[in-house]
Amino acid sequence: MINIYMRVSIIPLIFLVGLIFAKPLEFQLKKNEQNSNSLQKRSNLILSLKNNSDTYFSTAIEVGTPAQELNLIFDTGSADLWVMDSKNKHCIYNSYKNITVEPVINCADLLTFNSSESSTIKKVSDARFYINYVDLTYAEGVWVTDTLTINGISIPNMQFGLALNATTPVSGVLGIGFQRREAVRGYEGASNEFYPNFPQVLKQQGITDVVAYSLNLGDSSSIIFGGVDVNAYTGTMYTFPMVNVYPNVVDKPATLALTIQGLDIVDKITNSKKNIFNNKYAVLLDSGTTLVSFPTDLADSMASFVNATYSPAESVYIFDCPANSDSIDFVFNFGELKLHIPLTSFLLLPEGDSICGFGVLRSRNSFITLGDSFLKNTYVVYDLDNYQISLAKAANNTDKEQNIIEIPSDGKIPGAIMAEDEIWTGNVASSTSSARIETALPSTTINTESLKTATSGKIVIETITKYICNKSS
């Protein structure tokens, strides 16, 4: 999913590496190697996840032959890779004879893909590629295959959407969510055919044993496909079943959601405590969302504890900046695991005055979304094959070298404890005649006087994009 102030989220790719054994594939800040137990030297492919002013994370990949570098928004909540073509007629000064079509977007700071310069690009079919956002932006074009290059490793014939007409002002999106979330259904000219997206290809090529990856959005932001860095978290890791929030649409989970059982707020100075809720909610862990969102009644209750009031004009809670924001903890109760997240993580800091924003948004339904402001404090393992999510507290010490272990095909991570949670279908499931699943997406800036944040450079209003899901496993 995706949801930051001026951007979208999504993303795919593949890797052909001639190794006998499946190994972790890592996107991080540098390239390294580690020794395997078989005495064979095995390399982790590392690609940077760049923190862009605390609003979203992006990653650089190269597309085509010769390779062209693109900066794509990284998103766990969607499943497709799409890139903007340099001939996009909505771009000012595009490469298509300077013909610009309304609405106009400024692509001067974007890296776009010149598809006519690639000798390896191929059109998949006459099917249309299309993603439409509720804020009326969209990306439209064709499905193609081409070579992706990551740190010198070439990945031929990867399928992605080539946006020939796009009003969404991003270079593209790399989505690594469930394959059934691919934007291949529900619009005129759609292919109605799912295809292997990036995580699926890694498993098909024997690079990983399982469609699973671990995410660390701390100081050294990285994602490891097929592996877990045991030095990146502290305490015990617990593994929870995913929750199917759309049981009337799909038979198995289609979103990276699990169950939260309660939320408390504690002031360590005054020893005061407030229970926000102590019943089950489905909660989405989404790297494509900057802040967190709760149903309105819960968000209001959270805001009242810090004496924040809702501003309809700004669509955000505002309050006097606290003298000691480290004294207040939000205690997220997942059952066996309770994670303490400081108020600092949800603080939207002003540039000039003493009025702060409270980085908790009102949700339009009973769904809870925990975005980057929460994830920066948490180490998360998403296992799409076994429909489970593992959580632990992120380690603050970034000086330790990585210690990567593989995620086995059965999903039982060494050292992690299987939680006793019962599998349930969530509390936001809804039936629709078109079998649509809605995913929060990006792109509306709240009109505040430049509120800045330790966890979000601007404040975002959640918008909705629709991805079609097939009722299949």
Residues acting as catalytic residues: 75, 286
- Neighbour-count burial for 91-121, b at 16+ CB within 10 Å, e otherwise: beebeeeeebeeeebebeebbbbebeebeeb
Strand pairing category for 153-166 and 81-84: parallel
- Half-sphere exposure of 342 toward its Cβ, with a 13 Å CA cutoff? 11
- Neighbour-count burial for 236-270, b at 16+ CB within 10 Å, e otherwise: ebbbbbbbbbbbebbeebbbbbbbbbbbbbbbeee
Q: What is the identity of the amino acid at 216?
A: N
Distance CA 213, CA 208 (A): 10
Q: What is the identity of the amino acid at 344?
A: T
| Per-residue 3-state assignment (H helix, E strand, C coil) for the chain | CCEECCECCCCCCCCCCCCCCCCCEEECCCCEEEECCCCCEEEECCCCEEEECCCEEEEEEEECCCCEEEEEEEECCCCCEEEEECCCCCECCCCCCCCCCCCCECCCCCCCECHHHCCCCEEEEEEEEEEEECCCCEEEEEEEEEEEEECCEEEEEEEEEEEEEECCCCCEEEECCCHHHCCCCCCCCCCCCCCCCHHHHHHHCCCCCCCEEEEECCCCCEEEECEEECCCEEEEEEEEECCCCCCCCCCCCCCCEEEECEEEEEECCCCEEEEEECCCEEEEECCCECCEEEEHHHHHHHHHHCCCEEECCCCEEEEECCCCHHHEEEEEECCCCEEEEEHHHHEEECCCCCEEEECEEEECCCCEEECHHHHCCEEEEEECCCCEEEEEEECCCCCCCCCEEECCCCCCCCCCEECCCCCCCCCCCCCCCCCEEEEEECCCECCCCCCEECCCCCCECCEEEEEECCCCC
Scan for tokens 């998403």, then name that residue: 382
Residue 393 and residue 339 in contact, taking contact as beta carbons nearer than 8 Å: yes
